[in-house]
Amino acid sequence: MARPSFFGDTRVMRGPRVMGVVNVTPDSFSDGGLFLDAGSAIAHGRELAAAGADILDVGGESTRPGAEAVGAELELERVQPVVAALAGDAQPGGPSVSIDTSKASVARAAFDAGARWVNDVTALRADPELAGLCADRGCEVVLMHMLGSPRTMQDAPRYDDVLDDVRSFLAARIEAAVEAGIAEARIWIDPGIGFGKTLEHNLELLRRLGELREFGRPLVVGTSRKRFLGAITGREVGERLGATVAANTLALAAGAEVFRVHDVAEARQSLDAAAVILGRAPWRG
């Protein structure tokens, strides 16, 4: 399973990171139910690793608009065996495992099973114990902007200026994370494309994404198969690969470094090529 380089081909020695989505849920917007069985999810995660994922993001609670909340016990039941198996596959140069959760109890079990990242759509607001746990474990933490909760976020979202509002939110959450003991060098930020945003908000954020580089923290972007791409192209969920590649490539040009995707092989190839063309990664022929 190990690849010649952390970023893929040995000739591309530095470049974007691809975060492969492993949804262990019955109701995620793109692949809900396909990998709810632990065995299917583990097999899918291994396929994403072989396709070039640098990070495998395992989640047991859907965060699609309108999704119902899931209790910690059920969420943990879904993700623990998947995290354990995928983390157990770890080899030098291979992918690390992220737990997509807002609950400290789920994150703790995932850490014990080998996870090294927490991807929290609430930016450490939902569970007061999660920040301290992340600080104690020294993990990487993704702080994402979301307006409201998955249940309410698409109820007529409004901003004075979406980029300025997202910037202010992320500044406050970075400060809170550091105050809780999380090393700033371990904080990654995500503007939350599609999380409490209209089509116009999403487009504005992507056009002005480079302004978030002022934080000096790596940018995570998740546009994969999302509804706003369907609105632009008229394509259904499973037909949005081309639009996703376009959005990711433009985000890379603006300074994004991690790309959360469903279609890992295509993202790996397109982003590695774009990184070399943009001069973000050297070509060693």
* pLDDT 10s digits, 212-222: 999 999 999 99
Please state the rounded mean pLDDT for residues 2-23.
Answer: 60
Instruction: Give me the pLDDT at residue 62, please.
Output: 83
Instruction: Give me the pLDDT at residue 14, please.
Output: 53
Whole-prediction pTM value? 0.90
Instruction: Give me the pLDDT at residue 92, please.
Output: 83
pLDDT at 13 over 60: no
| C-alpha–C-alpha distance, residues 147 and 159, integer Å | 10
* pLDDT 10s digits, 130-185: 999 999 999 999 999 998 766 665 776 889 999 999 999 999 999 999 999 999 99
SS3 content of the chain, % helix, strand, coil (to 5): 45, 15, 40
Structure tokens at 185: 């060098």
| Phi (first) and psi of residue 175, to 5 degrees | -60, -45
pLDDT at 7 over 60: no
Instruction: Give me the pLDDT at residue 16, please.
Output: 95
| C-alpha–C-alpha distance, residues 247 and 62, integer Å | 23
Give the residue numbers annotated as catalytic, written as ranges.
Answer: 226, 260
Please state the rounded mean pLDDT for residues 111-116.
Answer: 97
Q: Which CATH superfamily hosts domain 17-277?
A: Dihydropteroate synthase-like (3.20.20.20)
The residues with which 141 forms a beta bridge, in sequence order, are 118, 187
List of E strands, 49-108? 55-59, 96-100
Please state the rounded mean pLDDT for residues 199-206.
Answer: 96
Q: 265 and 49 in contact (C-beta within 8 Å)?
A: no
| C-alpha–C-alpha distance, residues 50 and 34, integer Å | 19
What is the domain partition of the chain in residue ranges?
Answer: 17-277
**Residue closest to 193 by CA, chosen among 102, 121, 98:** 121
Structure tokens at 160: 């004075």
* pLDDT 10s digits, 14-40: 589 999 999 998 855 455 556 668 999
- Strands in 96-100's sheet, in edge-to-edge order, are 187-190, 140-144, 117-120, 96-100, 55-59, 17-23, 258-261, 220-221
